[in-house]
């Protein structure tokens, strides 16, 4: 698994390569400057510590001063961060630092919009594994900054028996039994169901959580009634913002939404350079 520092190193090497032929021919190594990162739109902030580590990766003497914390609502026009140090370092790190900030803040900002749709209900919104390869830890962190919750981090930390698992195991009962024979008693088992028959099979097999996949509202309401609070109920499958309120009112416990990460649009941030 990539660490944040690994991602930063990869990103800087990708951008700078053997050297910044523009900056290195214009700016002397002794020139000191200041960078001011400004919000060009209203946004929820995420990625402050990552941005700081981008600058310190190249130069530990850069002074990084954040006016806000991750999870804060930032108004358009506000100064978010000030950095001061070698002008060469600031110019070389500008794009990479902004890429992390813009992507992660974009996820947090989009997530907050989804969360606001159900803020008067008890339902929890959760993300999925539909993340940028290598960025999962960061993107799921950004989801939390937007006010939602994380589903499993990967295939290693949660059991989710899906349709393909059920098919190769010869049914839900067999799939649950095989998993139960090996995993710790502390691990919960979630089973995906797309029909009323599969819901009953998952209940009888001893699932801890049932994922209602791509069901319509009537089917979801019927399934919730059958389950009757015996296990947690999650709903998933092409969920959009305008469906959230109605889905929450069916009585489900969790709504998983791939769009929190895979369809988030980067926010608009820019860095203005000043000589000191």
Which run of H or of E encompasses 167? helix 163-169
192 is catalytic: yes
What are 247's two structure tokens? 């889905």
Cβ contacts of residue 92 below 8 Å, gap of 6+?
A: 12, 15, 16, 20, 23, 58
> Known catalytic residue: 82?
no
Mean pLDDT computed over every residue of the chain: 97
84, 192, 198, 201: the catalytic one is 192
Catalytic choice (139, 213, 234, 253): 213
Q: How many CB atoms lie within 10 A of CB 263?
A: 13
Q: Where are the domains of the chain?
A: 4-115+264-275, 149-256
Which of 99 and 276 is assigned the larger pLDDT? 99
Architecture of domain 4-115+264-275: Alpha-Beta Complex (3.90)
Place of tokens 């600058």: 55
Q: Which two tokens stand for residue 276?
A: 């000191």
Q: What is the pLDDT of residues 43-59, one digit of tens each?
A: 999 999 999 999 999 99
Say how far apart CA 65 and CA 221 lie, in whole Å.
Answer: 50
52 in catalytic set: no
- Structure pTM? 0.96
Which of 34, 53, 130, 173 is an active site residue? 130
Which of the residue ranges 1-15, 44-58, 60-74 would you say has the lowest mean pLDDT?
1-15
Per-residue pLDDT at 1 exceeds 90: no
Please pick, among 82, 95, 129, 180, the residue that the annotation labels catalytic: 95
Residue-level pLDDT at 191: 98
Please give the CATH topology (third level) of the domain spanning 149-256.
Answer: TIM Barrel (3.20.20)
Q: Which of 162, 177, 197, 230 is catalytic?
A: 162
Q: What are the pLDDT digits (tens) for 130-157?
A: 999 999 999 999 999 999 999 999 999 9
**Topology alike, domains 4-115+264-275 and 149-256:** no
In angstroms, the CA 174 to CA 257 distance is 28
């Amino acid at each position: 698994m990539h660490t944040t520092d690994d991602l930063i190193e990869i990103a800087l090497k990708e951008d700078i390569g053997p050297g910044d032929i523009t900056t290195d021919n214009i700016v002397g190594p002794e020139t000191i400057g200041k960078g001011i990162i400004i919000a060009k739109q209203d946004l929820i902030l995420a990625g402050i510590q990552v941005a700081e580590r981008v600058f310190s990766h190249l130069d530990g003497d850069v002074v990084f001063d954040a006016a806000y914390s991750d999870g804060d609502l930032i108004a358009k026009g506000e100064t978010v961060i000030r950095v001061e140090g070698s002008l060469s370092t600031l110019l070389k790190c500008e794009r990479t630092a902004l890429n992390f900030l813009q992507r992660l803040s974009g996820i947090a900002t989009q997530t907050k919009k989804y969360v606001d749709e159900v803020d008067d209900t008890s339902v929890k919104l959760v993300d999925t594994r539909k993340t940028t390869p290598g960025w999962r830890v960061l993107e799921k962190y950004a989801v939390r900054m937007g006010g939602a919750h994380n589903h499993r981090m990967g295939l290693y930390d949660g059991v989710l028996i899906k349709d393909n698992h059920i098919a190769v195991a010869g049914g839900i009962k067999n799939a649950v039994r095989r998993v139960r024979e090996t995993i710790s008693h502390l691990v919960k088992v979630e089973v995906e169901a797309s029909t009323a028959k599969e819901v009953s099979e998952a209940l009888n097999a001893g699932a801890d959580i049932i994922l209602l996949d791509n069901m319509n509202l009537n089917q979801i309401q019927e399934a919730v009634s059958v389950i009757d609070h015996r296990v947690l109920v999650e709903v998933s499958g092409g969920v959009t913002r305008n469906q959230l309120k109605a889905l929450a009112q069916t009585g489900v416990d969790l709504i998983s939404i791939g769009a929190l990460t895979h369809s988030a649009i980067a926010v608009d941030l820019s860095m203005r350079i000043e000589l000191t």
